[in-house]
Structure 1
Amino acid sequence: MKMLDRCRLFSLCLLAASCGLAQAHGGVDHSAHGAPAAHQEKTSVRFADVQLLDQNGMPVRLEKDLVGDHLVVMGFIYTSCTTVCPVVSSIMAKVQKQLGGRVGEDVQLVSISVDPQRDDPKRLQTYAKTFQAGPGWSWLTGTPYAVSETLKGLGSFSANLGEHPPLILVGDGRSGKWTRFYGFTDPALLVSEIDRLSAKRVHAKHTAIAQEQQP
């Protein structure tokens, strides 16, 4: 099966599966997106120097406390979304499963609520239980100002909740290299990008060692 056909089939399956999840999280209908075609693009990001809160109510700063030196998979959701957001969270859950013990070690997963007025830490914690299995996945909210500044820097801000893009960012906090994945992306592609970034780290390390050993 061609990769494009595989991705389309995967997207349709995820969309169908999300219907059951959506019933458990009643709220805003996000169906205006339909089933967006998956595509990706290289990008740069800016981390706003603001305080956010994780699902345990602990204050965090995204760049310093979570991104840091990690490889990162970052999604954008809100708990009352009934279609696209459960699919995005399901994709990230599959990424967590495929990466296994690397999550919480060299890889960090982050989900940021785009609806801080309703999504307090307790609500995010309850929502996260549907998707998260194990450590290394932080769910973030904060004041409307802090969240909007964060989203603007990451290219995921929208004044209308129903129009925020289905988007997952994958990047390397060390090198600053990031890729935006729009639509319902096959988790295998996200894991492949993590592996590619990890391999570049190894290559850069070996190159640096070789240069140091030169007379």
Structure 2
Amino acid sequence: MIKNSLNLICLSLLLVVAFVAHPVFAAEHYQRSVARYTVPDVELINQDGERVALKALLETDQPVIVDFIYATCTTICPLLSISFLNLQSKLAKEGRSARLISITIDPDHDSPQIMKDYLKRYRAKPGWDFLTGTSADIHKVMKAFNAYIPDKMSHYPLNMIRNPKNGTWIRLFGIMSGKDFLSEYKQIADQ
């Protein structure tokens, strides 16, 4: 019994060390960079089953935030989605809104109905869309944003905010606080 307890304690400590040592979680802050991307001219499908031109959806006169998630994820995606929900809530208190776009990295599973249920589960407000498409189109989009993930199990936390003034994208890698996310958004929106 004592040996089993010690083994369990050792295993728990190893998991904690591995979790803390992972580069995404070990950093005190997220990593911020600025990039230019060419949005591919593809049509994707939103949670309502409507075909949408990705370029037209993203290249607007308003800031747009993009992340790459999938509906059955139980690790990073819920954190990213909660960040989107919190941003929507905080901005709503100020009488503002944000354009949020989640793009699936599992197009073979994430149908419009599954995506609609996912958004409902996270109490998404209007202005947050979840997009899917063919595997070829989704891969093209991920590659265009330097976010290609060949295996959904090895995905990472990434948000990107498009600056409508100059067309650049603020790339936010890692888990960030709600305060930091709001600050990053406002830096772009309030220019």
Q: TM-score w.r.t. structure 1 length?
A: 0.71
Report the equivalent of 1:91.
83
The code of the aligned residue for 2:53 comes to R
Tell me, yes or no, if structure 1 residue 175 matches structure 2 residue 166: yes
The runs of 5 or more residues in structure 1 that have no matched partner are: 1-31, 201-215
- Could you tell me how far apart the structure 1 residues matched to 2:26 and 2:85 are? 19
Tell me, yes or no, if structure 1 residue 35 matches structure 2 residue 25: yes
| Partner SS, residue 190 of structure 2 | helix
Aligned-pair distance for 1:61?
Answer: 1.4
Report the equivalent of 1:64.
56
- Could you tell me how far apart the structure 2 residues matched to 1:162 and 1:64 are? 30
- Could you tell me how far apart the structure 2 residues matched to 1:161 and 1:133 are? 23
Contact 2:76/2:156 (CA < 8 Å) preserved in 1? no
Once the two structures are superposed, residues 152-202 of structure 1 have per-residue CA deviations (whole angstroms, 9 ceiling, x without a partner) of: 1112111111112210111223421211111111122222122222332xx
Contact 1:112/1:141 (CA < 8 Å) preserved in 2? yes
Distance of aligned partners of 1:174 and 1:63 in 2 relative to their CA distance in 1, 3 Å threshold: farther
Aligned residues: 166
- Could you tell me how far apart the structure 1 residues matched to 2:73 and 2:84 are? 16
Once the two structures are superposed, residues 57-89 of structure 1 have per-residue CA deviations (whole angstroms, 9 ceiling, x without a partner) of: 100112203442220111111011111111111
Contact 2:24/2:175 (CA < 8 Å) preserved in 1? no
| Partner SS, residue 117 of structure 2 | helix
Aligned-pair distance for 1:34?
Answer: 7.2
Distance of aligned partners of 1:83 and 1:169 in 2 relative to their CA distance in 1, 3 Å threshold: same
Tell me, yes or no, if structure 1 residue 145 matches structure 2 residue 145: no
Contact 2:62/2:189 (CA < 8 Å) preserved in 1? no
1:1-215 map, 5 Å: 35=25, 37=27, 38-100=30-92, 101-103=95-97, 107-200=98-191
Identical-residue share of aligned pairs (%): 31
The code of the aligned residue for 1:35 comes to F
| Partner SS, residue 175 of structure 2 | coil
Distance of aligned partners of 1:33 and 1:140 in 2 relative to their CA distance in 1, 3 Å threshold: farther
Backbone CA RMSD of aligned residues: 1.9
Contact 1:68/1:174 (CA < 8 Å) preserved in 2? no
The runs of 5 or more residues in structure 2 that have no matched partner are: 1-21
Q: TM-score w.r.t. structure 2 length?
A: 0.80
Distance of aligned partners of 1:34 and 1:45 in 2 relative to their CA distance in 1, 3 Å threshold: closer
- Could you tell me how far apart the structure 1 residues matched to 2:81 and 2:189 are? 23
The code of the aligned residue for 2:63 comes to L
Distance of aligned partners of 1:46 and 1:187 in 2 relative to their CA distance in 1, 3 Å threshold: farther
Distance of aligned partners of 1:61 and 1:173 in 2 relative to their CA distance in 1, 3 Å threshold: farther
The code of the aligned residue for 2:96 comes to R
